[in-house]
Amino acid sequence: MRSEFLSFSPPLIGQEEIDEVVDTLRSDWITTGPKTRRFESEFAADRQAEAALALNSCTAGLHTTLLTMGIGAGDEVITTPMTFAASVNVIELVGAKPVLVDVEPDTLNIDPRAVERAVTAKTRAVLAVHYAGHPADMAAIQSIADSHQLAVIEDAAHAIPASYRDRPIGSGSNPTAFSFYATKNLTTGEGGMLTGPADFLEEARVISLHGMSREAWKRYEKGGSWRYDVVAPGCKYNMTDIQASLGIWQLKKLPLFQQRRAEIVGAYNAAFQELGELELPVVRDNVEHAWHLYPIRLVADALRIGRDEFIEELKARRIGTSVHFIPIHIHPFYRDKYGLEPNDLPVANDNFERILSLPLNPRMSEQDVADVIEAVDDVARRHRRRRRAA
């Protein structure tokens, strides 16, 4: 057994990031400035996006998108229950109604057939979440949206550097929000990015910084003017140059990070494929998975213990895990406001009851991976149900 606890998903920060942050701290700009602009440009190029807007979170990207689109009271936005609350909270915050629909049983992404059934005269947009780093079925979702003249918003908090049909997530015309939280594939500690058409992002940029017509860098740089106009009631969502300093180097290292994630996934798949007690993640043929998460599902009736006990057994073996996610319709606010029951969304609810995420990050050593495999295998074998002889 391990002597030290294996954390679920720590960041991997190198000397290059530290040096870049120090360089920023010694410069004239520590808030939004030249390094933020550089990070935006390099991120847009990486994602093959028309433009990018650096923000302080993925949540800010989603909220800013809804505000820029003018979605609000009386509108409906169709989305998934298998996501973090932020994806749905922003719909509430603009005064619109989130309409939760069930997910596909294999990928756990939003089910396009359920989206089609949920469209009403009040529907303004579909907010698709790329769960665990596996892209949603965007062709089907886009077709439905186009036929009903709906906007599509992509929550790509898990999805860098994922691709769909050989195109990077974030490269299309849909506003797409990324997360750079501490646990993500690319981190700036806290932070996010919004990609999309350049004209849309220019409107979003105004909303993201108090509704001001001119940001601080443009006002205080040499030759700048102190004058500005507030043209809309905006938010305070800008990224700082300190955060961008981390992001510049994390983006450079992303291919190596991703290679390591794929190696760990390969080891997990090889080790667990014969364990009948586990259902492993799937990868469809037309996607490149970002492998932000490696969620396994316990096979119903194959074990004498449930998900929570399985997690505790792994914790006793010093292996950290998490659960992604508690479905939105189970949380008290949404449950009570909309009168929802767990089985109103049966696929999401069933999978939640038996899902857990194993450690997956580029800091993991070969011994760390071996320890996770050994612990999962041991728990599954110790607690498997013995089949009666025929």
For the record, the structure tokens of 239 come out as 């990224």
Q: Name the percent of the chain lying above pLDDT 90.
A: 93
**18 within 8 A of 250, measured Cβ to Cβ:** no
Give the pLDDT confidence of 250-276 residue by residue, as tens digits.
999 999 999 999 999 999 999 999 999
The pLDDT of 48-67, averaged and rounded, is 98
Where are the extended beta strands (E) located within 215-298? 278-279, 287-288, 294-298
In this structure, are residues 101 and 115 in contact, taking their beta carbons and an 8 Å threshold?
yes
- Gap between the terminal Cα atoms of the chain: 37
**How far apart are alpha carbons 347 and 368 in whole angstroms?**
32
Model confidence at 390, pLDDT cuts 50, 70, 90, reads: very low
What is the CB neighbour count within 10 angstroms for residue 257? 20
CATH number for region 255-382:
3.90.1150.10
* d(C-alpha 333, C-alpha 348), whole Å: 18
Q: Which amino acid is at 160?
A: I
Q: What is the pLDDT of residue 40?
A: 98
pLDDT given for residue 217 in this prediction: 54
Query: Which amino acid is residue 67, in one-letter code?
Result: L
Q: What is the dihedral of CA 72, 338, 357, 182, to 10 degrees?
A: 30
Tens-place pLDDT, residues 365-379: 999 999 999 999 999
**For position 312, what pLDDT does the model report?**
98
Mean pLDDT of the 301-327 span:
98
User: Per-residue pLDDT averaged across 72-85, rounded?
Assistant: 98
Instruction: Give residues with Cβ within 8 angstroms of 236, minimum separation 6.
Output: 209, 210
Mean pLDDT of the chain: 96
Contacts of 387 (CB under 8 A, 6+ apart): none
Query: What integer pLDDT is reported at residue 276 of this predicted model?
Result: 96
Q: Would you say domain 15-251 falls under CATH 3.40.640.10?
A: yes
Please report the pLDDT score of residue 221 as a whole number. 61
Q: Domain limits of the chain?
A: 15-251, 255-382
Q: Is the pLDDT of residue 388 over 90?
A: no
- What is the pLDDT at residue 389? 46
Higher pLDDT, 45 or 388: 45
- Look at 102 and 216; give whichever has higher pLDDT: 102
316-331 average pLDDT score: 98
Can you give the pLDDT at residue 226? 73
Radius of gyration of the chain (CA): 22
Task: Express each pLDDT in 336-367 by its tens digit.
Answer: 999 999 999 999 999 999 999 999 999 999 99
The catalytic residue positions are 184
Mean pLDDT within 317-328 = 98
